[in-house]
Chain A
Amino acid sequence: MIFAHGYGCDQNMWRLVAPAFENDYRVVLFDHVGAGKSDLSAFDEKKYGTLDGYADDLLEICASLSLFGAVFVGHSVSAIIGILAALKEPGRFSTLVLVGPSPCYLNDGDYFGGFEGADIEGLLDFLDSNHLGWSAQMAPSIMGNPNRPELAAELENSFCRTDPDIARHFARVTFKSDNREDLMRVTTPTLILQCSEDVIAQTCVGEYVHRAMPNSEITYLKATGHCPHLSAPEETIDAIRIGLRTLEATRKM
């Protein structure tokens, strides 16, 4: 069972959910390049200029761990990264669990994604205001210094620390991607977890994903916001367990 964190924090996002599956599964957690303790020097603006670059990384992890038929759990943008990976190598995943997925964050004609282009530009601008405290030069030196954990501890907000330039780049790629066309090509059984009052991936967006993916189930969570795995871990764990069981039963029929 492999968990992929979304835009924002790192694999710490799964700390309340992943352990619950350790008895039944071999659990794999990782940080996307640019987040958490990843090797920042591996960042390549061109490779990660589209979500495909991240999907390739995911498949590389699967290959190096010889994962076949794994359960993929992806939050937010990583739901789409999982879809792209499943399209490239269908054998890797038996099931996709998509937490708060959105194939396209921007409104486009009849399609409602929730945001206008100006909102995303505003976000990029806003990110700048919050990166002044820890400059690009400073973040990697601390992140790349595992022998001196006190350095990291001195810095606040360390769980969500990402290299500012990479974070900006990831934000742009995340919020400007349009993967609506990819949804209908997925044949892997898929479980969608939809939160209430999620401004980032609104209910109508989750339902759009459900309609577009022929082999999908949708579960509505009471949890509000965009991160049910943090705000309502128990509900999230139950929903994943029940959903996996249902999909398994359907498969056997």
Chain B
Amino acid sequence: MKTHTKVPDEDLLELYEESPCGYLSWLPDGRITRVNQTLLTWTGYTRDELLSGKKFQDLLTAPQRIYYETHYAPLLKIQGFVKEVALELNCKVRDPLPVLVNSKYHQPTKDRDAHVRGVFFDATDRRRYERQLLESRRSLEEMVKNRTEQLERQVAERESAEESLKQLTSKLLQLRDDERRRIARDLHDSAGQLLSATAMNLELVLKENAALSPKASKSLTECVDLVRETLKEIRIVSYLLHPPLLDEAGLRSALEWFLDGFSKRSSIEVHLVIDDNFGRLPMAMETAIFRIIQECITNVHRHSGSKTATVKLSRTVDEIVVEVRDEGVGIPVELSQGVGLRGMRERVHQFHGSMEIGPNNPGARLIARIPAPVGDWSDEAVPFS
């Protein structure tokens, strides 16, 4: 069953006039045509004041009139309604009243011109919350911004410190290599030459040792042996400091010489495997690789207890791979934090490479990868003279 209860006209009128919201009707150009009692009470205007040619936009402050002209009126025209716009109505007797407005455009009919109907809600409290919300959001955004800036600054400072440390380390390594090379050459050229001359002179004297007393003759023979031994030691030290082969014949020959000598001295058997196509590299890179292998092999001898070790060098278009393996006890903690490993790492980083150290079951394994040199570096490979 359909029920239909008609609301009496006087109730409708009261509903319009005394509603807890304001009602306002206006023409498309803004001229007010109807207003309810609630809105009059809120704003303090009389009905006559509003209906004698006053426009809706006249109730707005200057900034809001800009908004009305640039947003509100165009929207009403384009989409036929505007919802939930926050405005402040100029009042006659009190401060501007914050309201929330919903409005609808009505097409002209035969009885009535085109007009707009608006409903106004008192939004005093709501506006206060919204302000608070906005201010909290702003201050939060400000805090986040400040903190982000601070962190970015700290990160930048740290990065720059790390970068200078890297440069310094690289410089130090370079200086150490140069220094070693100089000492090696000096040892070989001065002390070595002097001792060679001494040995030659002593050998001349030795030819006449029949003229000496047996005691003096024995001392002389011992002297000759001592000088020869010293000369040999100086050569070894000099070559270990900087193998002349590295400059002249390249990494392969220098490693062969070094590992051969190492095996003899330490009785650790070292296998050296180098790709046939390995070729030459820039001098600084060859020196770095030589030093890394030298450091590794020394560690094998000192710490691992391994009886064998393998050194492998391979090369692709993109990278150089250095691998050193042993079958010893693995890497002791104190070694993994030591200066030697850090130095190796720095040498690899100097060429933008990476280095990994891990177990070899048994033993330890080091793999360093260095990007292959690009461009023409053949000049750099010219031996140090």
Interfacial residues of chain B within 54-113, with CB under 8 A of chain A in the complex = 57, 61-67, 69-71, 73-75, 77-79, 81-86, 88
CB pair A9–B28 under 8 Å, yes or no, is no
Given A9-B75, A123-B63, residue A157 in contact with residue B70 (CB < 8 A): no
CB pair A226–B29 under 8 Å, yes or no, is no
Chain A residues with Cβ below 8 Å from B66 are 115, 119, 123, 175, 199-200
Chain A residues with Cβ below 8 Å from B88 are 126
The CA of A225 and the CA of B29, in the complex, are separated in Å by 7
Given A159-B78, A225-B29, residue A126 in contact with residue B67 (CB < 8 A): yes
CB pair A119–B63 under 8 Å, yes or no, is yes
Number of A-B contacts (CB under 8 A): 101
A62 touches B (CB below 8 Å): no
CB pair A133–B84 under 8 Å, yes or no, is yes
Chain A residues with Cβ below 8 Å from B64 are 122-123, 126
Interfacial residues of chain A within 1-52, with CB under 8 A of chain B in the complex = 6-9, 12-13, 15
Interfacial residues of chain B within 113-140, with CB under 8 A of chain A in the complex = 127, 130-131, 133-134
CB pair A130–B69 under 8 Å, yes or no, is no
The CA of A9 and the CA of B64, in the complex, are separated in Å by 16
CB pair B79–A159 under 8 Å, yes or no, is yes
Given A76-B70, A132-B130, A200-B69, residue A122 in contact with residue B61 (CB < 8 A): yes
Other-chain contact of A8, B65, B71, B79, B131 (Cβ < 8 Å): B71
Given A9-B71, A156-B84, A225-B69, residue A230 in contact with residue B63 (CB < 8 A): no
Other-chain contact of A126, B30, B63, B73, B77 (Cβ < 8 Å): B63
Chain B residues with Cβ below 8 Å from A115 are 62, 66
The CA of A130 and the CA of B62, in the complex, are separated in Å by 16
CB pair B127–A129 under 8 Å, yes or no, is yes
Most A CB contacts (10 A, CB to CB) among B62, B84, B134 go to B62
CB pair B78–A226 under 8 Å, yes or no, is no
Interfacial residues of chain A within 209-235, with CB under 8 A of chain B in the complex = 224-227, 230-231
A127 touches B (CB below 8 Å): yes
CB pair B78–A230 under 8 Å, yes or no, is yes
Smallest CB separation, A63 vs chain B (Å)? 29
CB pair A230–B73 under 8 Å, yes or no, is yes
The CA of A131 and the CA of B42, in the complex, are separated in Å by 25
Chain B residues with Cβ below 8 Å from A199 are 57, 65-66, 69
A160 touches B (CB below 8 Å): yes
CB pair B75–A157 under 8 Å, yes or no, is yes
CB pair B134–A132 under 8 Å, yes or no, is yes
CB pair A231–B75 under 8 Å, yes or no, is no
The CA of A124 and the CA of B67, in the complex, are separated in Å by 10
Most A CB contacts (10 A, CB to CB) among B61, B66, B86, B134 go to B66
Q: A6-B70, A158-B79, A197-B29 are in contact. List 5 more A-B contacts (CB 8 A).
A: A115-B66, A128-B134, A199-B69, A231-B28, A231-B77
Provide 10 A-B residue pairs closer than 8 Å at the C-beta atoms, listed in order of the A residue: A119-B66, A123-B63, A132-B86, A132-B130, A157-B82, A157-B83, A225-B69, A226-B70, A231-B28, A231-B77
The 8 closest A-B pairs by CB, nearest first: A8-B70, A122-B63, A123-B63, A226-B69, A119-B62, A156-B83, A230-B77, A129-B86
